Every structure is written in C-alpha cells, then in structure tokens.
Amino acid sequence: MAATTQWERYAPYVIFVIRMVAAVLFFQHGAQKLFGFTGAPVEQSFLTQRGVAGVLEMTGPVLFALGLFTRVTAFILCGEMAFAYFIRWAPLGFWPLSNGGEEAILFCYLYLWIVTAGPGAWSVDGWLERHTSWHPGRALTQRLQSLEPYTRAVLRIVAGFFVVQHGLRKAFGMLPLIGGRPGAPPFALDGLPAVTGYFDLVAGAMLIAGLFTRPVAIVVAIEMFVAYIVVAAPRGPWPISNGGGEVLLHVVILAYIATMGAGAWSVDRNAHRTVRGVKPWQST
C-alpha cells in the first residue's frame, strides 16, 4: 500500500504534463485551420464548421495550458471531438484505426477524463480555489472527482483496444488504413517491427482487463515513445505531420495509468479488494 501511495502522490504533476502535451498537440490542429500551419489550407471564415473548430482548437489549448476553466474547456472539447469523429471519420468505416479517427477518439476520452480529474498541479483554477473562500462549484467539483476512477477505466479500456488493433495490423495485416488526414504519414506505432504486434495483442488485452496494469502501462508507454523517436521524429518536428500525435497521447495516458493504477472495472482493483477482505462490488 505504501508503494501505491508513493506513486499516486505524483498524479497532479502527471496531469499537468498531460495538459501541456494535449494543449500543444491540439493547438496544431487549430493553427492548421486558421493559419495554414504545415501547409494546410487556411479557413477564411470563422462561421463555417471548420472555422468554428479552428477557434476552439486554438483557444481551448491556451486555457488548458493555463489551467483556467479547465473542466468546462475539457467538456466543450470532448463534445467537439465526438462531433468531429462522427461527422468526419465514422462514415469511412467502423474501426477507428482504419478510418483515421484514432486521435479524435483519444482526445475525446482524454478530455472526458479531465472533466473529472481536474487540472492537476500548477493551474490557475487550483490557485483560485486555494485563495478563494467561496467557491460556487465546490460540490460539483467533488462529485466529478469521485467519478475519476470510472473515467480513468474508460480511458484505459479505449487505449487497450487501440493497442490491440495496432497489434492486429502489425502481426496479421488486418485493419488497413482507409481514411486519415490527406498527406499524413502512417501511424508511428505501425513502423515498428511486425513482431511487436504480438506483444501489443497481449499487452492491449491486459490493459482492457486491468491486469498487472501498472507494469504493462509502463512497458507500452516505452514502446510508444520509442515509436515516436525512431519512426515519427525523423519525418519532421511537428507531431501533426510526422504521424506521431497518437503515440504521444498514448504515452501520457499510459503514464497516468501507471501512476494511479487501473481504476474501476479491473482485475487489479478486484484482486486488491479481495486481499483486503472487501467484496468486488463494495466501495473502498
């Protein structure tokens, strides 16, 4: 139990890192739409669907980086990503790995989790809460924080499913890419040797089940980081155009799961409760 507590004390700082990484990655999408970043076409009107998305994708990351209105911002961006997925990617095919919507799905569930987890360390929201005696949303904040183990579990399961899908693609050539952003290179993880696909199948299944979650999350995060350094980084400096955005999201998500554990609906959690003499369906 002491080891768990030692890991968990770093959670607010890991959340801060996640905020920064998500802000940088998401800001690039807005910069593409509004300023033609990396050679993308510039949207001339803020009133179009693409223009509104560009505004959200530039202002949202700034608020995220500051940790200002973090939960509200995350809720809005979660909705935007869900809308974008069903409008842009879902019509191209059922599997997100094939239709090109992996990054949109990861952002969507990451933002949903932030709604419950909050801004973490070094945020304006945290400073205001510490220095303001009256906080109108305190009860709601506490309720949302109580839901964090469940949104973390959803995030873990989603990440695990993607790891399994990458394993199927690398090991057996399944789920070929039929969508994706025009001109974007293949996903960085798919550039690793095919034999790593078998590891992904096992590791992804363990993440879904929440079995030995911390060590599995650490090893998969290392694999993702290696994929970025070896495959994506040589293609260029910007994740949005080098095929590395998805693996960076996976890295920070898995880093948090390695820090805090599997969350709800996991073999690890049930085993821990059984050892402590608590039934799996009872709250700790």
Let me know if residue 128 belongs to a domain.
yes
pLDDT grade, residue 182 (50/70/90)? confident
pLDDT of residue 222: 98
Let me know if residue 125 belongs to a domain.
yes
pLDDT of residue 271: 81
**Percentage of residues in the chain having pLDDT higher than 90:** 81
| Total number of domains constituting the chain | 1
Let me know if residue 258 belongs to a domain.
yes
Let me know if residue 282 belongs to a domain.
no
Mind listing the pLDDT tens digit for each residue in 9-62?
999 999 999 999 999 999 999 999 999 999 999 999 999 999 999 999 999 999
Distance in angstroms (rounded) separating the CA atoms of residues 61 and 25: 9
What's the pTM value of the predicted model, to 2 decimals? 0.92
Read off the tokens for 77. Answer: 């961006």
Let me know if residue 280 belongs to a domain.
no
Beta carbons within 10 angstroms of residue 156's beta carbon: 29
H helices of 85-212, where? 96-99, 102-117, 124-131, 138-146, 148-172, 196-209
The dihedral through the CA atoms of 29, 14, 166, 235 has a sign that is positive
Q: What is the mean pLDDT of residues 180-202?
A: 92
Let me know if residue 283 belongs to a domain.
no
Let me know if residue 281 belongs to a domain.
no
Question: 1 pLDDT exceeds 70?
Answer: no
Let me know if residue 284 belongs to a domain.
no
Range of the domain at 146: 2-275
pLDDT of residue 283: 35
**Cβ atoms of residues 221 and 250 within 8 Å:** yes
Question: 111 pLDDT exceeds 60?
Answer: yes
Mind listing the pLDDT tens digit for each residue in 58-93?
999 999 999 999 999 999 999 999 999 999 999 999
Question: 110 pLDDT exceeds 70?
Answer: yes
The dihedral through the CA atoms of 246, 197, 155, 126 has a sign that is negative
By CB atoms closer than 10 A (0-12, 13-18, 19+), residue 67 is: buried
